[in-house]
Structure 1
């Protein structure tokens, strides 16, 4: 993978891009006046990560980048700010002060909603196993800015971990968190967008393991919840009770 910058970057931006290259085991290439297409051809690598003032943009054999954007999460949080209820928050029993673990963070959409719901006295731990996706989202959560400071605070409070969720869950003590959440659905998005489409090439394609669910049940004090397509057989295979909310299907295991 190549990591580069826009044309005429500041020295600080070049240093930042170079440090990302070391973190991700990638090649840092000064941009100079080269186009992204020329860089791909010159180094024989279609994977590009561009670090600029807007955040990180990842390209894979395409001019359609993956980048961080809160998208519908921002819409949902704005509704919550007005006192409206969010179906996922109600279904999980999430309250201020809770510790929520999002095992499949993806672009962190649900982690953002959870983080706003638990507030400054709570905690959201977001796990992502794919290094490039982890870096894009981690940096985005720290730099993305909205006009609402309480929403910005929800972004900043999310604790991202580069980890396989099964390994992470297995290492946790019993009854140590409140809610464990799985969302394999981001790997098969219901709606395409310029930020979601490129996610497909990065996402971990492995199905959810029953062992991961067992560990989740062991450590969760309230609920374990999985989001899937409404006709998915995963609910029955993994022991979840199927529930529906606004045309989205959730599986719930109550551990209380």
Structure 2
């Protein structure tokens, strides 16, 4: 199958800033630049049969070939989840991960980095959070987002600056790591079943990689995790039983967390 190329263009009325951002994206992604020339993104994508990265004044957007809606970075649910944590309220992901100040977490499926932000907030400046994203375009968008998003109105999301975004596939990256090199390894594969309420993830679902949990992935995660492996999956998933995760059931939620302790 022919690999679909990626091209970079600007917003409808480019200025010096967006042109500079477009040049930066071309360099980072090894993509070529296509002048906008008043064309729609859909037309540019169809003419070149390519994915399109748009360099705007305030953000980058990614249009996968054949889609109308862009994927772009936003703190999404992390902002209000962090506020709840700051108030001392329960947070299911953090309950499962049991992170402590100074811990390290490897997020194998970064997505929009919401869980990684909670992890970074919890482990603090002395801790470490690394997030993996297999799709180069999605990794680029999220990496730029966590590094440059204006957090002045969302002070709790400043922790996003501590997230290290790595473009790589989870199992391949895990194989490169020494035993027990992260305290916690977290896996949140794309759900086997669509969750109707999760419409804000639709652009990511279309643009991102769709990885399924495998024996090799779980085995490598167990080897790398010093304390525990955490899995997030649909409540009907067979993965919890198949891989012997201790499930944290949530009666009103359509996804659950599972934990596998590796410290023994």
TM-score, scaled to structure 2: 0.87
What does the per-residue CA deviation read over 1:128-165, in whole Å, with 9 as the maximum and x for residues that have no partner? 1110110111111112223243422x111000001111
Q: 1:40 to 1:168 in 2, by over 3 A?
A: closer
Q: Does 1:82 align with 2:87?
A: yes
Q: 1:34 to 1:82 in 2, by over 3 A?
A: same
**2:58 paired residue among 46, 54, 57:** 54
**1:250 paired residue among 223, 247, 257:** 257
Q: Distance in 1 between matches of 2:50 and 2:223?
A: 42
| Root-mean-square deviation (Å) | 2.0
Q: Distance in 2 between matches of 1:100 and 1:8?
A: 41
Structure 2: 5+ residue stretches without partners: 1-5
Q: 1:221 to 1:40 in 2, by over 3 A?
A: closer
Q: Distance in 1 between matches of 2:121 and 2:244?
A: 29
**5 Å matches for 1:1-256?**
1-41=6-46, 43-45=47-49, 47-60=51-64, 61-146=66-151, 147-152=153-158, 154-185=159-190, 190=195, 191-193=197-199, 195-245=200-250, 247=253, 248-256=255-263
Aligned length: 253
The alignment partner of 2:172 has SS state of: helix
**Offset at 1:68?**
1.0
Q: 1:187 to 1:70 in 2, by over 3 A?
A: farther
Q: 1:205 to 1:37 in 2, by over 3 A?
A: closer
TM-score, scaled to structure 1: 0.90
| Residue number in structure 1 paired with 2:3 | none
Q: Distance in 1 between matches of 2:192 and 2:205?
A: 6
Structure 1: 5+ residue stretches without partners: none
Q: Is the Cα–Cα contact under 8 Å of residues 187 and 200 in structure 1 kept in the other structure?
A: no
Q: Distance in 2 between matches of 1:33 and 1:203?
A: 28
